[in-house]
């Protein structure tokens, strides 16, 4: 029987490993909710599931584009529709999991009209100041370059307050109802998880992956300035030591986890402790099988 649910949580919370284990047992379909896993050339910095796991399972939202190609929510929604179709055909569950909660939120609220990107010489600070003056209802972080640029594009292209434009053009939600589980951890234990994951990434060749990417693509590309890669860029330029590299990745990842924890409060989710999550979700899936 088809059944879909979301499994969210901060980075390094173990949600992907849980989803993989459940998918293997129940032959479920997985939709990756991770903005970095869409890129073919990034495999370590994004903690992507192994090639063998991706081959064994019905995985969507992974290895779709090159880092030099643009990915947006509309493309993610197409992946969701494909994943849902396969899950229904197989009469099994669809597990939506990952750390990019913005994609999930958009699917549940509806996608607004797309505006062609325009170039601007304004800095993030200048755009943010303009936004706060003109459109204080538009909630956004000061360092969120993508959404700041999107706001400016709407403002300059449509001659309309962006928050009002988005409300007016918003289409029907792709997902109207969804059961959402959130993996929760004690903050100190999560910090230790982050440190272990960073060490594993470095051991598995994070620096080598970063070096290859910077040599073959424009280092200013957005995916190449994500956590893990941007710190490696400084290390490869001999601006920081190896110890500083590890420290900065841990620090920035912990900061990301804090932002994700705050963002996930937007969802009406069911909290699950990691140690108990697998058995609880396993029983839930068994009840639908």
Together in a domain, 91 and 144? no
Together in a domain, 79 and 23? yes
Q: What is the DSSP string of 95-127?
A: EEE-S-HHHHHHHHH-PPPP---------HHHH
Q: In angstroms, what CA-CA distances link 193 with 110, 186, 187, 198?
A: 34, 11, 10, 9
Together in a domain, 155 and 268? no
| Other beta carbons less than 10 A from residue 5's beta carbon | 19
Together in a domain, 137 and 156? yes
Q: What is the DSSP string of 143-201?
A: T-HHHHHHHHHHHHHHSS-HHHHHHHHPPPPS-S--EEEEEE--HHHHHHHHHHHHHHH
Together in a domain, 58 and 151? no
Asked whether residue 21 is assigned to any structural domain, the reply reads yes
Together in a domain, 66 and 179? yes
51 marked as part of a ligand binding site: no
Together in a domain, 181 and 193? no
| Other beta carbons less than 10 A from residue 164's beta carbon | 14
The separation between CA 93 and the C-alpha centre of its own chain, rounded to angstroms, equals 21
Say what the pLDDT of residue 147 is.
80
Asked whether residue 152 is assigned to any structural domain, the reply reads yes
15 marked as part of a ligand binding site: yes
**Cα 114 from Cα 244, distance rounded (Å):** 41
16 marked as part of a ligand binding site: yes
Task: Tokens for 139, please give them.
Answer: 């909630």
Q: Do residues 16 and 97 touch, judged by C-beta distance below 8 A?
A: yes
Together in a domain, 26 and 152? no
Provide the domain limits for residue 191. Answer: 187-258
Residue whose token pair is 């899950």: 87
Together in a domain, 129 and 192? no
Structural domain count, the chain: 3
12 marked as part of a ligand binding site: yes
Together in a domain, 178 and 161? no
Together in a domain, 192 and 181? no
Together in a domain, 149 and 220? no
List the CATH number of the domain containing 80. Answer: 3.40.50.300
Q: In angstroms, what CA-CA distances link 181 with 165, 205, 277?
A: 32, 32, 9
Tens place of pLDDT per residue across the chain (289 aa) = 789 999 999 999 999 999 999 999 999 999 999 999 999 999 999 999 999 999 999 999 999 999 999 888 888 999 999 999 999 999 999 999 999 998 999 889 887 766 767 778 888 899 999 989 999 988 887 877 878 888 888 888 887 898 888 788 877 888 989 999 999 999 999 999 999 999 999 999 999 999 999 999 999 999 999 999 999 999 999 999 999 999 999 999 999 999 999 999 999 999 999 999 999 999 999 987 7
10 marked as part of a ligand binding site: yes
Say what the pLDDT of residue 88 is.
96
14 marked as part of a ligand binding site: yes
**Cα 272 from Cα 181, distance rounded (Å):** 7
């Amino acid at each position: 029987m088809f059944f879909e649910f979301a499994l969210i949580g901060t980075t390094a919370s173990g949600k992907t490993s849980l989803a993989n284990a459940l998918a293997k047992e129940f032959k479920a379909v997985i939709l990756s909710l991770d903005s970095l896993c869409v890129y073919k050339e990034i495999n370590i910095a994004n903690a992507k599931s192994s090639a063998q796991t991706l081959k064994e399972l019905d995985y969507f939202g992974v290895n779709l584009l090159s880092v030099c190609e643009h990915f947006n929510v509309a493309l993610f929604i197409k992946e969701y529709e494909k994943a849902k179709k396969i899950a229904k055909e197989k009469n099994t569950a669809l597990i939506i999991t990952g750390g990019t909660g913005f994609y999930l939120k958009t699917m549940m609220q509806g996608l607004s009209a797309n505006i062609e990107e325009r170039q601007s010489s304004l800095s993030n600070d200048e755009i943010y100041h303009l936004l706060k003056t003109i459109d204080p209802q538009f909630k956004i972080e000061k360092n969120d370059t993508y959404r700041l640029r999107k706001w400016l594009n709407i403002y300059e292209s449509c001659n309309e307050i962006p928050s009002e434009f988005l409300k007016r053009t918003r289409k029907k939600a792709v997902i109207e109802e969804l059961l959402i589980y959130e993996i929760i951890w004690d903050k100190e234990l999560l910090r230790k998880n982050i440190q272990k994951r960073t060490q594993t990434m470095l051991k598995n060749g994070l620096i080598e992956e970063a070096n290859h990417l910077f040599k073959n693509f424009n280092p200013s590309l957005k995916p190449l300035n994500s956590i893990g890669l941007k710190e490696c860029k400084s290390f490869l330029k001999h601006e920081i030591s190896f110890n500083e590299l590890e420290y900065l990745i841990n620090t920035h990842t912990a900061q990301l986890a804090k932002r994700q924890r705050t963002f996930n409060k937007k969802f009406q989710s069911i909290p699950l402790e990691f140690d108990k999550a697998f058995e609880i979700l396993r029983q839930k899936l068994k009840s639908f099988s």
